[in-house]
A and B are shown apart, each in its own frame.
Chain A
Amino acid sequence: MTNPYARRLMSRLLVVAILTLGVAGLGALGSAACSTRVPTLEERAVALDRQLMCPICDGQTLDESQSQLAQQMKQVIREKLAQGETEDQIKAYFSSPDRYGPAVLAAPPASGFNLVLWALPPALTIVGLGGLFLLIRAMRVRSRPAGVRAGDLMLATYLEQVDRELGLAKGAPPPGSGPGLDPLAVPGAGEKRVEQRNG
């Protein structure tokens, strides 16, 4: 790897290989998503078991519960599926007010007031990530003119130079290339510096 040309070629080849792999992976993933097989009746029944609560057990789904009532409800689910009823029909059957009410659903449907339950987490995540982006950007902008004290800057430049020379002398990568390389932090920074010097 001493030849810089060969080195560059190698790294470019690697990048191309990764991109190819990535595109292939995404393509295959897409086709996999499209070609999901039809679930069996029992698989559909188990999926429903997991979406309905056992009305007499504290916080257990039909799938988890060992109670008699849960066994009977599971039986009803299987019969109804066999008769050709859809998942939604079965859920509506159990959650109707004259049966067990909406609390029998393990998660409320995303409609009406319950939409709040479902919409808040993604909204929060998107707004939060956006806020984080703005925050980091603001911290960077603010930092540029006055943030770094003159002494720090001099020290940092100096240390970077030292690292670079040491690094080059032993064939290590240039400074800033390895994780944990931190010319500014004094406590605890020794380990990585040693690593770098040895490298």
Chain B
Amino acid sequence: MADLGTMAVLLALVLSLYASAGSVAGHALRLPELAVSARRALYLTLPVTAAAVGALVAAFVSHDFSIEYVWRHSNLVMDPGYTWVALYAGNEGSLLYIALVLSLMSAVAVRTVPSRFAGSMPWTIALLGIMQAFYFFVMAFFASPFSTFDFLPGDGRGINPLLTHPGMFTHPPMLMSGLAGITVPFAFAAGALISGNYGDDWVDVARVSALVVWGILGVGLLLGAWWAYTILGWGGYWGWDPIENVAFMPWLVLTAFIHSIMVQKRRGMFRMWNVALLDIAFVLAQLGMFINRGGPVVSVHSFASSTLGLVFLSFMLLSLVFSFGLFIWRYPQLKSDRPLESFLSREASFLVNNFLLLAVAFVTLWGVVFPLFSDLAQGVEVSVAAPYFNRVNGPLLLAVVFMMGVGPLLPWRKSSGRSLQRWFVIPLATGLAVVAGLLIAGLREPLAVVAFGVIAFVAAAIVEEWYRGSAARRRTGEQWPVAWWRLVNGNRPRHGGYVVHLAILTLATGVVGTQFFDQRTDVVLRQGESVVLDNYRIEYVRRDTAERQDRIARWVDLNVYRTDPAEYEADANGWRVEGRRFDTRGGAYPGDHLLDTLQPWHGFYTQFNQVSVRAGIRSTPVEDLYIIPSDFLDDGRVLLRVSINPLAWWLWVAGPVFVLGTIVALWPQPSVERLTARAAVPQARAQAKA
């Protein structure tokens, strides 16, 4: 298996180098056969890489511990279902996985690209080939997943327990796919630039491929948050960890790109800007790969650290020089067709939105690299974590959300005072009404109140657009649902975008709720004791332990009651109350009623000296009750962390809505319309001639 894998990697390296060189040579020497063979070589890397992956999977399944990677990341007791996760549990396997994704995406992109883009394809293929070759090169000479021992170890070390969670089947591969996939839109743009076809031909292919990659990255980020929330055991979902940040930054830049590319598509503007955005996203993705594969910053994700850093750093610098060199070289040809006419136009609002998204990306980057600067400049180690990012990015992100409402309400080109009035009155009134309502209801967090007001403003703007659009169609006799459906269908990129905006709004709702209004308490309970937090009473019923081969698993049974905290605070019935904790063996307040039973779980993995927990979560749209068993004391007591996370449910609603919106935006326009459009072109030409 090891030999097969090694050979496959070497063969794939040769093939992708041939694809690059052949593609360019075929184009330059006008040898179409050579160009075709180069293209086929690129396709061929896909089955060859798949063979290498197959070899590694087979080695995992057959417990071939003579392969170091298999020994390091699996053992005999590992659930075979986790073979897929073990595949990318370490650096070498991750590289192989990335190479697989890259060759798959390259093949699909090259295969499906429209023929009018053919002029730029030799260069695009060359770039895709070089990117693939880089990964095969690293695997062949620096980090082979197929390196073997001289002896045969009895059992492997086993998979990292933090990875044994359903979220791990999708979160890391999606992030890696997203980061690797940015290569595709970048290769299209760069190919267009090198070949000189910098008209707007590349816009469609770049938009679609960027949207796919952006969607994958976005889902990957959300899955990561979900994984952190349910398993990492710190009660949060986003920690501004370096690894999260390096995936978040390219996503932000791609978000800017998929917006401003629409301006180029419709108005022929922002050409330089769009190329620059793809360049930035690509370089940030390479930075992400560098930090993921053994970079200089520590994080909870550093289970994949290694000495590969230098190789990836060099490659990142190379891509930086290449992409911006290209940009500067072609800069004079990237002029806009049309000028910008007004501050109050959608074009201008897209510029502002782009600027804000980039600002968040760079402020985040600054926070990630600052510890290195500090070390170099003043020789002092500092940490830059959540407090910094929350404070500097919070206001910027709120501004981004606000622009999400403003942009779609502004017309292209310029707007009149009456149009502003017509479109802004209702959303602004809604936002202000929500602010007033929340203040009257007694909310005393100014920032949170403003944030909810902004969210309401944006939501009202989307509803207003849908309402007015549907109402206009309804006058032609369509029913409401039909009218709305046809409205959405008529311009999917736009309305798919609105659906994604709704997802961002639910996400923002969850973030504001959990950031500003969470409550928590750490408490040590004896069996039969309860803790009261807000209007929950949590009773420790019993605990249990089981020794497994690889871990000591412990769990605790908890009863969750709805209660009136005043009853206990008043201590009226003579129950002993110390803080929020009290003994219920003497009987609890009879008005309590049982809501739920939870069984949070705690595993100690002896070999890794690592703890993995599953929180007990009672989730409702209003709030989550979230309980982690932090420790099981020897005398039978348990240390519980009880949190109430308001509106956390809405964080996870965002996921499916986000996916739905992305699919709507990507869905090809109906063929009937395309046919009509095609029929219309010759007609129009004939008319023009006549």
A interface list, Cβ under 8 A from B: 11, 14-15, 17-18, 21-22, 24-25, 28-29, 32-33, 35-37, 42, 46, 50-51, 53, 57-61, 63-66, 71, 74, 101-108, 112-114, 116-118, 120-122, 124-125, 128-129, 132, 135-136, 139-140, 142-143, 147-148, 152, 170, 172-174, 176-182, 184-185, 187-189, 191-192, 194-196, 198-199
Contact = CB atoms under 8 A, between A and B. Distances in A.
A53 B385 contact: yes
- The 9 tightest CB contacts between A and B, nearest first, are A143-B339, A64-B234, A177-B419, A147-B339, A199-B472, A107-B388, A182-B412, A106-B385, A191-B491
A59 B246 CA distance: 15
A24 B475 CA distance: 39
- Chain A contact residues: over half helix, strand or loop, or mixed? helix
B485 interface: no
15 contacts: A14-B429, A29-B449, A29-B450, A59-B299, A63-B235, A66-B628, A106-B387, A113-B374, A113-B377, A135-B351, A136-B340, A140-B341, A176-B414, A178-B468, A184-B267
B352 A185 contact: no
A105 B370 CA distance: 14
Interface stretch (B29-37, B325-333, B403-411, B545-553): B403-411
B418 interface: yes
Interface string B320-344: 0000000000000000001111110
Interface stretch (B44-52, B355-363, B504-512): B355-363
B383 A179 contact: no
Contacts of A148: 338-339
B631 interface: yes
Contact of A66 (B241, B378, B423, B630): B630
A103 B362 CA distance: 22
Contact of B387 (A59, A74, A107): A107
Given A58-B299, A58-B300, A177-B422, A18 B429 contact: yes
B436 interface: yes
A105 B362 contact: no
Interface in B481-512: 487, 490-491, 494
Contacts of B351: 132, 135-136
* Best-surrounded residue of B234, B355, B383, B433 (most CB of chain A within 10 A): B383
B3 to A, nearest CB: 37
A44 to B, nearest CB: 13
A59 B242 contact: yes
B431 to A, nearest CB: 9
A18 B342 contact: no
B208 interface: no
Nearest to B641: A66
Given A59-B241, A106-B385, A28 B436 contact: yes
Contacts of B338: 143, 147-148, 152, 184
Interface string B451-471: 001000000000001001100
Nearest to B358: A128
A196 B490 CA distance: 13
Contacts of B440: 28
A121 B363 contact: yes
A19 to B, nearest CB: 9
A178 B298 CA distance: 50
Given A63-B235, A106-B383, A199-B472, 16 more contacts: A15-B425, A29-B435, A42-B521, A64-B232, A64-B236, A101-B380, A102-B382, A106-B386, A106-B388, A108-B382, A108-B384, A132-B355, A176-B411, A181-B412, A185-B266, A189-B266
A117 B386 contact: no
Contacts of A177: 411, 415-416, 418-419, 422-423
Interface in B372-408: 373-374, 377-378, 380-388, 391-392, 396, 408
B647 interface: no
A120 B421 CA distance: 37
Nearest to B443: A32
Given A114-B382, A179-B410, A180-B494, A140 B342 contact: yes
B366 interface: yes
